[in-house]
A and B are shown apart, each in its own frame.
Chain A
Amino acid sequence: MRRIPRGLAVAVGASLLLAACSSGTTTPAESSTDSATDSASPSESATDAAPVRGNEDLVIWTDDTHLAAMQAVADTYAKANNITVGVQAVTDTRAAFITANQAGNGPDVLVGAHDWIGQLVQNGAIDPLQLSPDQVKAYSPTAVRAVTYDSQLYGLPYGVESLALFCNKSVVGDTKFATLDDAIAAGQKALDAGTVESALNVPVGENGDAYHMEPLFTSAGGYLFGKDADGNYNPDDLGLDSAGGLAAAAKIGSLGEKGSNVLRRSISGDNNISLFAEGKAACMISGPWALNDVRAGLGDDGYTLQPIPGFAGMGPAQPFMGAQAFYVASNGKNKAFAQDFIANGVNTVDSMTTLYKMANLPPAMTAVRDSIAQDNPDFAVIAAAAESADPMPAIPAMAEVWQPLGVAYADIVSGADPTKSMQDAANAIRTAIAGS
């Protein structure tokens, strides 16, 4: 019987080979994976395998944190229109979407952050949304500005995010600080008394964190990109090494490790929230995503939350505002349903309320926002902070900013010459933008 295994092996091997061959002939995105889902059992795809599009009348891709909310809204729409709908949680949603959409295996609707828009448009992956001016008016102006790119509306926003200032009530008392200096001073007092280990947590890390530093940078006079008359960001007007930018760099340096040691590289995105939630930091700059941990650590009434105030005698602190939004895929298989879903299924007070409750994000629709001020004051604060913030630039040039600017911040915090670090970063970013 010695031949049987070999014969079988040949057959199995050859058919495997053929299976591999045939998937190789189509697209990488279509090859093996596990995420054939239906609306009942959404699943997450493996990290290294490309996700496979479901086979429903309407397929929505999102990340796993927003899955349940999307499912609820999609099910309502599906029932009303008598179609099937599939919501898939896809890891590394944006990159997976761009690849899959180009190969024709992508979803019909994508849900994601507004700062993806630049890259998505650059790759021709999403279509403009043609909503009527009245429909657009129902949303907060900042959220609309965030999803508008090249003067075209690309997404329907449902939630907004922004950084805010958290402080530990038992450490600094139940105060709203008028300036960031006041908050730092109160924190410093607690630090000197040995109550806490950090006066004000701002994530820096070894490689810097340009996102969390933005409110400090803007308050001290810096700006990233200038804007044209229509409010579109202008990649040729980089403000890092402008007079204001350099002054802001100096201010950040004075708060750094060789200065007052408020800003430290030992505080990063990894430990920022946990240090505050454990009571080891007097104040912290973070966003709505920190609320659950903070409440669990300090109690529902153990912290204060307020929009980030500016430095004393300086400009207002403007963190990046982020919007979560729905987009129509350019290569979807069910474009008509996708467009109708967004314009009529999601764009209602009911859906937006569901999304606000289930996705746990401050809403973008003004009617919903007004109704939550009472029962969720934290979200009202975040929404207010987002309203006074500037949308994170979605232009592709922004992709060249994060790394060099973060590194410059880390350098400045470590005690390097602020002017030189900022000019180096500005030059590196200009070179990178010119080369792309």
Chain B
Amino acid sequence: MSHTTQSDPPRAVRGGAGTTRVLPLLARVLGIGIIAALAVMVTPALVAQERWGFLAVFWGVVALLLAVYATKRAVPAKYLLPGVLFLSLLVVYPILMTFQLSTTNYGDGTRTSKEVTVNKIIASAAFQEANARRFTLAVGTEGTVDAGPYTFFLVDQATGDAFAGTEDGLTDLPADATVTDGAVTEVPGYTMLTKQQINTLSNTGGPLEGFTIPTGDNTVIVAQGFQAIELTSPLVYDQANDTFTDTRTGTVYTPQRSGDRSYFTDSEGNRLSSQSWGESVGFDNYKRIFTDPRISKNFLGIFAWTVVFAVGSVALTFLLGLVLAVVLNESRMRGQKVYRSILLLPYAIPGFISLMVWSSFYNTDFGLINNLLGTHVNWLGSTALARSAVLLTNLWMGFPYMFLVATGALQAVPSELKEAASIDGASGFTHFRKITFPLVLVSVAPLLVASFAFNFNNFNAIQLLTEGGPFSASDPTAGGTDILISYTYRLAFGTSAQQIGFASAISVILFILTGVLAAIQFRGTRVLEDVN
């Protein structure tokens, strides 16, 4: 590096092709080229999907990158831009998406649009009458394989009667067609399709998708694999009135609201289908958090325990870690390294395993703890005990980290300070309290804040140890050791139906809470910096 710097030509001659500049220039050209090429590459796909917002953002980023890196201007931006872009992509964008999701009713039963839902309801109601015919299917075309028009050549599996079918209806099979082993194999004037071709053309968006041969008022012949089946469709959808009518019974189904979604429901309240559709619900999910007494009650209680859990975990682990670090930092101590290695063991075991093992330790009848102590305590059975158990386990899991950090910080405290203090007549403890501890705290405080934020959302510790329990039968949604994230998880992905929109709203609140708490703590740590 030094060599290059010294042999740099003066700025004025830089434009001339210095040999040392070829590589960086090449890299830059290559980089910008790749970016531009990628942008060009994805553009058609984005246009096809009509993702105009993405397209604009995409090319905006490309323009920005070009402006910053293809020119010699904006030197600070050259350093800042990658970070800013990644921050936007990996942090800001997910938050915005979560927020957007939190204003919808997205979840089980509402994943599809209304149009798709209507089609699904019609399709899943179609059934075979008792006398429905089944055919062996062959497909031929008078035109090209890819464009059609197509004709279904059908051989009734029961009677052996053969037909030709188009979207206009069934006709007799042309007399000169060849039928071999119960299937039409050749028809003069037609190109017969292979199974692969039938499969490809039947795909979503393909010309054979939804190819039906009408045979009656409500009956059609449709392909099912390489067979064709006569199906009866009892439902008629009236687009103008947004109603379904069952032609067998005359029952009319209209969309009726239930909670955050609508179902097609008849006048007696019977739902036509369990499928609803996605809608924007504005701030209803947020309203639900704060107005539904069951949830708001849970929310405050869980929030309080979450804070206790996070603060408790950090305080306990730091305290134990610091004490051990101070003790083991004493140079007179023998076997320092051995002790340190042993103390780091909990940190070396994968957290998933320790948590599951600890979970079995707490078992009333077969657990290690009761066996050792000769007691018969149901550790995870009551809220207070389960909370202590969670904190204890988290202490075991977390103190080695604090021990490591504190050891490092202690060793960074200059030993001259200690000598000076002892000359001034300070005792060991006074010295620790007045000099060492504040200095350690200065370097450790940001890590404590980070540790708090981590424990605030420490999902594994709760889920693997207690699954949020113990629960009470009267309120089975919120458990005694549930922290906000485990509670949210159960709402969104747990045993009950997924309510992703609602869970997103809780996540947004959680994000704001964590952010505010972290900001307050960082403000607090600023005071510490005055020590320096």
Q: Chain A residues near B93 (CB, 8 Å)? A: 24
B128 at the interface (CB under 8 A from A): yes
Give B254 Cβ to nearest chain A Cβ, in Å.
19
A83-B225 CB under 8 A given contacts A403-B495, A421-B473, A428-B475: no
CB–CB A197/B365 < 8 A: yes
Residue B196 contacts which of A57, A206, A410 (CB distance < 8 angstroms)? A57
A244 at the interface (CB under 8 A from B): no
CB–CB B227/A266 < 8 A: no
B450 at the interface (CB under 8 A from A): no
Residue of A nearest to B364 (CB): A266
CB–CB B226/A340 < 8 A: yes
A271-B224 CB under 8 A given contacts A57-B199, A207-B469: no
Q: Which of A160-185 contact B (CB under 8 A)?
A: none
Stretch at the interface among A114-122, A351-359, A372-380: A114-122
CB–CB A403/B496 < 8 A: yes
Q: Which of B49-81 contact A (CB under 8 A)?
A: 49, 51, 54, 58, 61, 65, 69, 78
Cα distance, A403 to B496, chains bound together (Å): 8
B526 at the interface (CB under 8 A from A): no
A128-B124 CB under 8 A given contacts A3-B24, A275-B366, A436-B259: yes
Residue of B nearest to A403 (CB): B495
A206-B469 CB under 8 A given contacts A11-B34, A14-B65, A402-B495: yes
Cα distance, A355 to B467, chains bound together (Å): 35
Identify whether the interface residues of A are mostly helix, strand, loop, or mixed: helix
Q: Chain B residues near A145 (CB, 8 Å)? A: none
Q: Which of B78, B364, B494, B496 has the most CB of A within 10 A?
A: B496
Cα distance, A151 to B242, chains bound together (Å): 25
A123-B195 CB under 8 A given contacts A17-B85, A266-B363, A330-B120: no
Give A224 Cβ to nearest chain B Cβ, in Å.
15
Q: Chain A residues near B85 (CB, 8 Å)? A: 17
Cα distance, A22 to B20, chains bound together (Å): 35
CB–CB A266/B366 < 8 A: yes
B198 at the interface (CB under 8 A from A): yes
Q: Which of A11, A83, A118 has the most CB of B within 10 A?
A: A11
Q: Which of B108-133 contact A (CB under 8 A)?
A: 108-109, 111-112, 116-117, 120, 123-128, 130
Stretch at the interface among A36-44, A215-223, A294-302, A392-400: A392-400
| Per-residue A-contact encoding for B6-46, CB less than 8 Å = 1, 0 else | 00000000000000100110011011101100110010011
| Per-residue B-contact encoding for A66-95, CB less than 8 Å = 1, 0 else | 000000000000000101000000000001
Cα distance, A336 to B367, chains bound together (Å): 54
Give B49 Cβ to nearest chain A Cβ, in Å.
8
CB–CB A123/B363 < 8 A: no
B89 at the interface (CB under 8 A from A): yes
B454 at the interface (CB under 8 A from A): no
CB–CB B86/A17 < 8 A: yes
A121-B473 CB under 8 A given contacts A8-B27, A266-B365, A400-B497: no
Q: Which of A91-132 contact B (CB under 8 A)?
A: 95, 98, 102, 104, 118-119, 121-124, 127-128, 130, 132
Q: Please, how many residues of chain B have a CB less than 8 angstroms from a CB on the other chain?
A: 94
| Per-residue A-contact encoding for B67-108, CB less than 8 Å = 1, 0 else | 001000000001000100110011001000000000000001
CB–CB A424/B108 < 8 A: no
Q: Which of A11-30 contact B (CB under 8 A)?
A: 11-15, 17-22, 24-26
How many residue pairs between the two chains, A and B, have CB atoms under 8 Å in the bound complex?
247
Cα distance, A343 to B363, chains bound together (Å): 49
CB–CB B203/A333 < 8 A: yes
Q: Please, how many residues of chain A have a CB less than 8 angstroms from a CB on the other chain?
A: 91
Residue of A nearest to B30 (CB): A11
Cα distance, A175 to B469, chains bound together (Å): 39
Q: Chain A residues near B473 (CB, 8 Å)? A: 404, 407-408, 411, 416, 420-422, 424-425, 428
CB–CB A414/B381 < 8 A: yes
Q: Chain A residues near B108 (CB, 8 Å)? A: 119, 122-123, 396, 399
A53 at the interface (CB under 8 A from B): no
Residue B82 contacts which of A4, A13, A339 (CB distance < 8 angstroms)? A13
Residue of B nearest to A99 (CB): B111
Q: Chain A residues near B226 (CB, 8 Å)? A: 336, 340
Instruction: Give me the interface of B with A, judged by CB distance under 8 Å.
Output: 1, 4-5, 20, 23-24, 27-28, 30-32, 34-35, 38-39, 42, 45-46, 49, 51, 54, 58, 61, 65, 69, 78, 82, 85-86, 89-90, 93, 108-109, 111-112, 116-117, 120, 123-128, 130, 134, 195-196, 198-199, 202-204, 223-227, 229, 231, 258-259, 273-275, 359-360, 363-367, 378, 380-381, 466-467, 469-477, 479, 490, 493-497
What are 30 A-B pairs at a CB distance below 8 A? A1-B20, A8-B31, A10-B28, A18-B35, A21-B89, A24-B89, A57-B196, A81-B195, A98-B111, A102-B111, A119-B497, A121-B275, A124-B111, A128-B126, A133-B128, A133-B130, A207-B479, A264-B364, A265-B378, A271-B366, A330-B120, A335-B199, A399-B108, A403-B471, A403-B476, A407-B471, A411-B473, A414-B381, A434-B259, A436-B497
Q: Can you add 9 more A-B contacts, CB < 8 Å, to A81-B195, A331-B204?
A: A124-B275, A266-B366, A270-B359, A334-B199, A343-B227, A396-B497, A403-B496, A424-B472, A436-B109
